[in-house]
Structures are given as structure tokens and as C-alpha cells.
Structure 1
Amino acid sequence: MSYAGSSMGSGNRTAARTFDFGRTYVVRPKGKHQATIVWLHGLGDNGSSCSQLLENLSLPNIKWICPTAPTRPVAIVGGFSCTAWFDMGELSEDGPDDFEGLDASAAHIANLLSTEPPDIKLGIGGFSMGAATALYSATCFAQGRYSNGFPYPLNLRAVMGLSGWLPAARSLRNKIEGSHESARRAAYLPILLCHGLCDEVVPHRHGESSYHALSLAGFRNLTFKTYEGIGHYTVPQEMEDVCNWLNSRAGF
């Protein structure tokens, strides 16, 4: 599936980029279908590996959708092409954000969820760059629109970010505080952040600063879990915590 994104420069619309998303994998619920969650892989990975991780979780009533990001040149790996939800350079709060790529990925995720039945709870989660994209989707939901101004169409009920960070954190607070509806949506959306203390790829401080940025912007239903001795990978205890959180905090 392709998505044509566009950016705004000097008041004029620039040429659109087309993003070709890869294969989407689906893990069907083993019980009664009550919720659907899109789960996003990390840089250079694909939806297949996510589906293998998720199919054995003790969450029988959840359908998992595992898309694959477009293959594109990515600055942080020297401009080589790999699967990535957006372009990024050095992981820094002062670096520029690829809003066109972020919007395209967030819109692709929303499109995947838009055909679910109306009584189904919707969520987004992910690992590393996938976590960053999930958190960006959470901010789009709260604001009611993408950064390009187009309306965000979903009612999200849960967002999870493992070993990730929050893109565009610098201006988030002003965007949320400027709208009563945005503040209301931010306050009730359950968000789970998990991070290993020994992560050398996305250091723990980025997860911590993302938690504080979300909190300052008005996201009140936050949970932040840290893991001693864990690097840039998931462990069974972390996935068990995801299951428990979805059952208790998010009501899935």
C-alpha cells in the first residue's frame, strides 16, 4: 500500500513523496474479538517478526495487526535504505523531525484500524522506532489532527511504547494546552512506556524524558516501567507487563 505525503514550505505545497508500505501480518484472536492493536516493528525489521512475538501472548480477545514500514534511505545509518517509519538522524531532542514521514506512517496505521467494527477497542504499540511512531500517533489523537492539519480519525483506547522515544516533544505542550478537547483526550488516554536501563541504542534517558514531556503536556494516564540489566530488546517479563497493563489499566 502506498501513501502520498506532502509538506508545507513558505506557505506553498511542495511536491509529495510516495511511501510504499510493505506486507501486513495479522494475528487473529483466539477468543472473542474485543480489541485490535497495531504493533510496529523497529528500524530495519518487519511485521513478520512482530506477529511471531505476539501470537503467543495470553490475550485471546485481541487481534494484532503488524504492518511493515516502507524501505527508504535513513540518515542515522549513513543514508542506507532499510525499513523505517520515518527518516531520522542522530537521536537528539534538538534534531529535526521528519513530520512528512511520521504523518504518512500514522495515517497508514489509522487506515489499518479504520475498518475494524465500531464496538472494537483500538490501540497502537511498538518497539524502538515503532514505539516512537505509536507515541506520535497518540499526540495526533490528542490534538485531533496530524501535523499537516488533516483530521485524525480514530478514538484510541491504549498506546504502548517499548524502548522508544517521543518525536516532536518540544512543541507538544503548547499544542495540547491550546485546546480543551485536546487536553481532555490527552488526560484519559492510557499510555504505557517500558525501557531497559542498559539500552545503548535508545538510552533510558530518552524514555524518561518522553514520559516527562507527555506528563507536562497533560497526558495523565501514564505508566513508566524500567528494567534492570536490559538492553535494546524485549524480555518475557516486559511482555507479561504489557499483557497485565492492557487487562487492568486499559481495560482490554
Structure 2
Amino acid sequence: MLAPAAPLRRVTIQGGQRMPAWYDILDLAADSPEDAQGIAAMATSLGQWLANWRRSTVILGGFSQGAALSLHAALHARVPATAVLAFSGYLPLRHELPPAAEDSPPIFWGHGTRDPILPLEFARIGATILEQKGYRVEWRDYPMAHQVVATELEDARTFLRQQVMGGSRPEVPSSA
């Protein structure tokens, strides 16, 4: 498992405060302008970083902005991914989303019904657009705020088992 950390940068919506962020967030309204250049640069960096790790299975995933970057990297930048896990995120640059390709990864998207940061409706817009463009999306909402809960992680694990491992359980080495 590889878990890159976002670099420190100034974030407009936080009054220019330096904080871990993959790209600048200008606003969180559904039709607000987006940092397209920053999103593309980070997706390219992520793809280059992953190229150093030769693995047959790459699952891109993240929480909030990390979920958005994972979606963008796999779907716009075509970073090779076996699946995408999006936890409490959104679909960036959704008006520029290309149609699904035959090898587009399946997507698990979990979101809180009481999320005060990224409202449920905003996330659902992204999931609906993905489905309209032909992407395979498993949408789940949970009675939670802007967070991840154990039930969601279990659902994501089941999704990966079905989508990536063909429904089989991973083998656990015996302690003989």
C-alpha cells in the first residue's frame, strides 16, 4: 500500500492558509471555478510517482480532495488504475470528463448524508455524470458528516473483493 501525502500549499477557500492540499480550492459551490492547472499537475505527478512502482493492481483512493484527485487521475489523466475508491469527495472538472473507455476502472463512492463540507447533492451530481458517461459506479451514502465510518470501509472492501479479486477472498498464510 502506497499512501502519498499532499504537499503544503496555500488554499484560497481557507483564507490563503498553508495546509496539506493537492491543489488550490477556490470555492466549494457546485459551479465554482476550479484550479484546473493544479489538478492536472498533481494528477501527472501522481502518475509519475506510481510509475516507479511496478504493480499489476493499482487502486487509487482518497478522502475529500484526495478522492477528487483519485477520480481525476484515473478518468481524465488516465493514470492506470484497477479501481477507484472515493470517500466523501467530488468530481473535479466534471464538465470536461471524457466518456468511459473499455478499460475504465470501477468506482466505489461513499458519502455522508450530513456532510457539511461537501453536501450530498454535490457529490451525487458527480456520480450521476459518471454514470451518464458510462462509468461503473457503486454509490453508497451513510448517516455521517465529512468522515469515513467502519461500515463504509467494509463496503469498500466488499467492492474490491468483487471488482478486483473476482469475488474471492485473499489467501491468508497459515501459521504452520
TM-score (norm 2): 0.87
Residues in 2 aligned to 1:202 and 1:170: alpha-carbon distance in whole angstroms: 18
Aligned amino acid, residue 170 of structure 1: H
Question: Is 1:131 paired with 2:67?
Answer: yes
Distance 2:101 2:38 in 1: 25
Residues 176-235 of structure 1: per-residue CA shift (max 9 Å, x gap): 3xxxxx53234xx2101000101111111122111101111221x21000112x111111
1:121 Cα deviation from its structure 2 partner: 0.9
Per-residue CA deviation, residues 1-57 of structure 1 (Å, 9 max, x unaligned), is xxxxxxxxxxxxxxxxxxxxxxxxxxxxxxxxxxxxxxxxxxxxxxxxxxxxxxxxx
Q: Does the CA-based 8 Å contact 1:74-1:80 persist in structure 2? A: yes
Q: Quote the RMSD (CA, aligned, Å).
A: 1.7
Find 2:117's aligned residue among 178, 198, 201: 201
Runs of 4+ displaced beyond 6 Å: none
The structure where strand makes up a greater share of residues is: 1
Instruction: Give the structure 2 partner of residue 227 of structure 1.
Output: 142
Cα distance between partner residues in 1 of 2:123 and 2:117: 12
CA distance in 2: counterparts of 1:158 and 1:90, whole angstroms: 28
Per-residue CA deviations over 1:136-189 (Å, capped at 9, x if unaligned) read 11222xxxxx4xxxxx4x4311011100100011232xx33xxxxx53234xx2
Q: Please give the per-residue CA displacement for 1:59-107, whole angstroms capped at 9, x wherever unaligned.
A: xxxxx11111121111110111111011112212321121221122112
The partner residue of 2:90 within 142, 161, 165 is 165
Residue 190 in 1 paired to residue 106 in 2?
yes
Q: d(CA) in 2 for partners of 1:183 and 1:124? A: 17
Matched residue, 1:103: 40
Does the Cα contact within 8 Å between 2:26 and 2:35 map onto a contact in 1? no
Structure 1: runs of 5+ lacking an equivalent: 1-63, 141-145, 147-151, 177-181
SS at the partner of 1:81?
A: strand
Distance in 2 (CA, whole Å) between partners of 1:218 and 1:69 is 30
**SS of 1:226's equivalent?**
strand
